[in-house]
Amino acid sequence: MSGSGNTNVLNLTLKVWRQEGPNATGSFDSIPVEGIADDMSFLEMLDIVNEQIIEQGGIPIEFDHDCREGICGACGVMINGNAHGPKKGTTTCQLHMRNFEDGDEIVVEPWRASGFPIMRDLVVDRSPFDHIVESGGYISVNTGAAPDANLIPVPKDASDMAMDAAACIGCGACVAACPNSAAQLFTSAKLSHMNLLPQGQAERWKRTEQMVETMEQFFGACTNHGECTEACPKEISLDNIAFMNRDYLKSKVKNRKLTGQVFP
Amino acid sequence: MAATSTQRGVTPIRPAPRKTLPWPIQFYRSAVGRKWVMGVTGLMLLGFVVVHMLGNFKAYISPESIDHYGEALRDMGGHLVPRTHLLWAMRLGLIGAFALHIHAALSLTLMSRRSNPQSGIDGQKKYAGSQDYIAANFASRTMRWTGPIIVLYILFHLADLTWGTRSDEFVRGEPYHNMVDSMSSLPVAIIYIVANLAVAIHIFHGTWSAMQSIGINNPRINGIRKPVSMGLAALVLVGNLSFPIMVQAGVLDEETSEESAPALVLSEEVTS
Ligand code: FES
Q: Domain residues of chain A, as ranges? A: 9-119, 126-258
Q: Output the DSSP codes for chain A.
A: ---SSS--EEEEEEEEEE-SSTTSPPEEEEEEEEEEETTSBHHHHHHHHHHHHHHTT-PPPP---S-SSSSS-----EETTEET-SSTT--GGG-BGGGS-TT-EEEEE----TTS-EEETTEE--HHHHHHHHTT-S--S---SPPPTTSS---HHHHHHHHHHHT-----HHHHH-TT---HHHHHHHHHHHHTSGGGSTTHHHHHHHHHHHHHHHS-------HHHHH-TT---THHHHHHHHHHHHHHHS-GGGTTTS--
Torsion of CA B162, B166, B168, B172, to 10 degrees: 0
Q: Is the pLDDT of residue A109 over 50?
A: yes
**Contacts B6 to A, Cβ<8 Å:** none
Q: Do A221 and B5 touch (CB under 8 A)?
A: no
Of all residues in chain B, the one with the smallest CA distance to A81 is B129
Mean pLDDT of all residues belonging to chain A:
89
Distance CA B6, CA A67 (A): 32
**Contacts B1 to A, Cβ<8 Å:** 135, 210, 214
Residue type, B148: P
Question: Between residues B216 and A128, which one has the greater pLDDT?
Answer: A128
Torsion of CA B154, B157, B159, B165, to 10 degrees: 170
Of all residues in chain B, the one with the smallest CA distance to A242 is B215
Bridge partners for A30 per DSSP = A15
Distance CA A65, CA A48 (A): 15
Nearest residue (by CA) to ligand 1, atom 3, is A70
Query: What pLDDT, on the 0 to 100 scale, is given for residue B12?
Result: 87
Query: What pLDDT, on the 0 to 100 scale, is given for residue B3?
Result: 40
Query: What pLDDT, on the 0 to 100 scale, is given for residue A257?
Result: 57
Distance CA B238, CA B249 (A): 15
Query: What pLDDT, on the 0 to 100 scale, is given for residue B6?
Result: 41
At the second CATH level, the architecture of A126-258 is Orthogonal Bundle (1.10)
**Does the ipTM exceed 0.95?**
no
Exposure pattern of B161-197 as b/e (b: 16+ CB <10 Å)?
beebebeeebeebbbbbbbbbbbbeeebbebbbebbe
The A residues from 47 to 76 touching B (CB cutoff 8 Å) are none
Fold observed for domain B30-260: 3 helical TM bundles of succinate and fumarate reductases (1.20.1300)
Query: What pLDDT, on the 0 to 100 scale, is given for residue A160?
Result: 93
Query: What pLDDT, on the 0 to 100 scale, is given for residue A237?
Result: 93
Fold observed for domain A9-119: Ubiquitin-like (UB roll) (3.10.20)
What pLDDT tens digit does each residue of chain B (272 aa) get?
Answer: 344 434 447 888 888 888 778 888 889 999 999 999 999 999 999 999 999 999 999 999 989 999 999 999 998 888 888 888 999 999 999 999 999 999 999 999 888 888 876 543 344 567 876 656 666 678 888 888 899 999 999 999 999 988 888 888 888 888 899 999 899 999 999 999 999 999 999 999 999 999 999 988 877 888 888 899 999 999 999 999 999 999 999 888 876 545 444 444 444 444 43
The A residues from 147 to 176 touching B (CB cutoff 8 Å) are 157
